[in-house]
Structure 1
Amino acid sequence: MAANNRRTPLERVEYAIIVSTLLLLVVVTVQPLLNLLAVSLSDPAKLPGMSGMEVLPRGLSFDVWSLLINHPNVRAGLLNSILITGVGTLLNIIFTALMAWGLSRPGLPGRRILFIMVLVTIVFDPGIIPDYFVNKRLGLLDSYWSVILFKLVNAWYLIILIRFFEEIPQELLDAAELDGSNAFQTFWYVVLPLAKPALATITLFYIVFHWNEFFRAMIYITDQGKWPLQVVLRQFVIGGDKLAIVGVDAANNYTGASQIDLRALKAGMIILTIVPILVIYPLILKFFTKGTMSGALKG
């Protein structure tokens, strides 16, 4: 309250404009998601009259969610997406951090040449056809690895980490060396704890990248049992037929399947693909505001 009183009239107006703008952006962003959730939870009989602006369900029905969660294609897609995202992100962070730490050291032989090679990968993309033949030659077709190993080290994220590591004071590294730490111990106990904000940032980027992957999985994975959730969603939405996701057997055996609206099924599938990212983001957000040297130079 005291800080608010110290603002000038112009600053108060600016503050009100900024807050109002941010609230408007929140409403514009959240409203479509709430509408999709409301559609997926509405009574099928009342759904036809529901507009795209409503955020509360009409009636309450869990038929859509029961059908989606119990369907083998959706459950397999969800598990596949979790597997691809988890393993892929872990490998991404390990190799990106190791490579960034090496390229950030001034004494690394050939450092400039290696860095130029990294920049070349940003400018020149090999294309899908050479990439396909490489995966075929390595025997990665129709396997999770064809998706997991793609862009194991993203050049942009690598540059972010390199610049971050270069800001770590040399005095801290020298102190660790004097305490008897070897190169790996210094990297693990000194460098990585200081790099939590940068690591959290690129971790979120990698998670979103893997979770939203569908193009490569659609090309390289022919076994539908290995499809990630995004491919299942695409096949359903593009197909425009609820049997594409429900399946003929489920439609015949499930008493409510014939009454379930295609719009509600699409809404449920979209929410199912979005929720995991919405859950993970707040867990990582706390690291974004931490400084590079947070606590490093205390005492």
Structure 2
Amino acid sequence: MASQSRRTPLERVEYVLIVSTLLLLVVFTVQPLLNLLALSFSDPSKVAGFSGLSIIPDGFSPDVWALLLQHPNVQRGIFNSIWMTATSVVIGVLGTALMAWGLSRPGLPGRRVIFILVLVTIVFEPGIIPDYFLMKRMGLLNTPWSVIMYKAISAWYLIILVRFFEEIPRELLEAAELDGANPFQTFFLVVLPLAKSALATIALFYLVLHWNEFFRAMIYLNDQSKWPLQVVLRQFVIEGDKIAIVGANNANNNIGIAQINIRALKAGMILITILPILAIYPLILKFFTKGTMSGALKG
């Protein structure tokens, strides 16, 4: 309150404009999600007239969520997405960190050539056809590894991490060497703890990249039991394959097709793919505000 009293009239106007703009952005961002949530929990008989601006369910019915969460295609899609995304993030973060640490060392032989080759992959990114034949020759088609290994190490994220590692003070590395640490101990016990904020950022990038992947999964995976959730979502929401969700599950749940509105089903399916990212993001956000050298000089 004391800081607000010291603001000039112009600063107060700027403060009000900034806060108002941010609040509007929050409303425009959150309202569609709340609308989808309310739509998915509304009474099926009242969904047809449900407004696109409403955030309160019209009646209450959990039938949509019961139908989706009990459907085998959705269950397999959730499991496949979680497994492939988690594996991709671990491989991506570890591989990017190892390669970035090597490229950040001035004494690496051929460092400039390797860095140029990395930049070439950004400018001349191969298309889907070379990728497809590469996966075929490696015997990875119709396996989850074809999706996991696609962009296992991103050149963009690699450059970000290289620049971060180059800012680590040389004195810290020399101190670790004097204490008898070998290169691997220095990397895992000194460098990685200092790079928590950067690694969290890279992990979030890989998480969003692989969680939202559907195009290559749709091409590489012919077996529907291996489809990630995004492909199931596209099949239902974009292609309008209602029978794939309702028909196969109708006998088990005693929910008639006429009782479930297609809009409510689409809303529930979209939320199932969005909520995991929204749940994980706050856990990673705390690392963004930490300084690069936080705790480096303690003890």
Q: What corresponds to 1:8 in structure 2?
A: 8
Q: TM-score, normalised by structure 2?
A: 0.98
CA distance in 1, matches of 2:251, 2:262: 16
Letter in 2 for 1:30: V
Is 1:122 matched up with 2:129? no
Distance 2:269 2:8 in 1: 49
What's the CA shift for 1:4?
1.4
Which residue is equivalent to 1:174? Answer: 174
Counterpart of 1:256 in structure 2 is: 255
Aligned AA (2:116):
I
Structure 1 residue runs of 4+, over 4 Å off?
A: none
Give secondary structure in 2 for the equivalent of 1:38.
helix
> Partner letter of residue 185 of structure 1?
Q
Q: CA deviation at 1:126?
A: 1.4
Aligned to 2:39: 39
TM superposition score normalised by structure 1 = 0.98
SS of 1:292's equivalent in the other structure is coil
Q: Distance in 1 between matches of 2:163 and 2:256?
A: 54
Q: Deviations over 1:35-75 (max 9, x none)?
A: 00000000011111211000010111000000000000000
Once the two structures are overlaid, the 10-residue window that deviates more, 286-295 or 99-108, is 286-295
Distance 2:119 2:248 in 1: 52
Residue pairs, 1:47-62, within 5 angstroms: 47-62=47-62
- Code of the aligned partner of 1:291: G
**Cα-to-partner distance string for 1:4-56 (whole Å, 9 max, x where unaligned):** 11211111111111010000000000000000000000001111121100001
**Paired residue type of 2:184:** F
In structure 2, the residue matched to 1:220 is 220
What does 1:96-135 correspond to in 2, within 5 Å?
96-135=96-135
Aligned to 2:295: 295
Gaps of 5+ in 1: none
User: Which whole-Å CA distance do the structure 2 matches of 1:257 and 1:196 have between them?
Assistant: 51
Structure 2 unmatched ranges of 5 or more: none
d(CA) in 1 for partners of 2:161 and 2:6? 40
Is the partner of 1:73 in helix, strand or coil? helix
* Offset of residue 256 of structure 1: 2.2
Of 165-174 and 40-49, the range deviating more from structure 2: 40-49
Q: Is the 8 A contact 1:157 1:202 kept in 2?
A: yes
1:192-207 equivalences in 2 (<5 Å): 192-207=192-207
* Cα distance in 1 for residues equivalent to 2:146 and 2:13: 54
Q: How far off its partner does 1:255 sit?
A: 2.6
User: Per-residue displacement from partner, 1:234-274 (whole Å, max 9, x unpaired)?
Assistant: 0001232421222x342244332320000000000000000
* Residue of structure 2 equivalent to 1:63: 63
Verify the 8 A CA contact 2:42 2:57 in the aligned structure 1: yes
SS at match of 1:46: helix
Return the alpha-carbon distance in structure 1 between the equivalents of residues 156 and 113 of structure 2: 17
> Does 1:191 find its partner at 2:204?
no
Q: 2:17 matched to 1:20?
A: no
| CA offset digits 1:77-102 (Å, max 9, x no partner) | 00000001000110001100000000
Residues in 1 aligned to 2:26 and 2:238: alpha-carbon distance in whole angstroms: 29
One-letter identity of the residue aligned with 1:131: D
- The one-letter amino acid paired with 1:181 is A
1:124-169 Cα distance to aligned partner (Å, 9 max, x none)? 0111111111110110000000000011110000000000000000
Secondary structure of 2:287's partner? coil
Overall identity of the aligned pairs, in %:
71
Q: Does the CA-based 8 Å contact 2:235-2:241 persist in structure 1?
A: no
Tell me the CA shift for residue 295 of structure 1.
1.7
Equivalent-residue separation in structure 1 for 2:252 and 2:3 (angstroms): 64
Compute the RMSD of aligned alpha carbons: 1.0
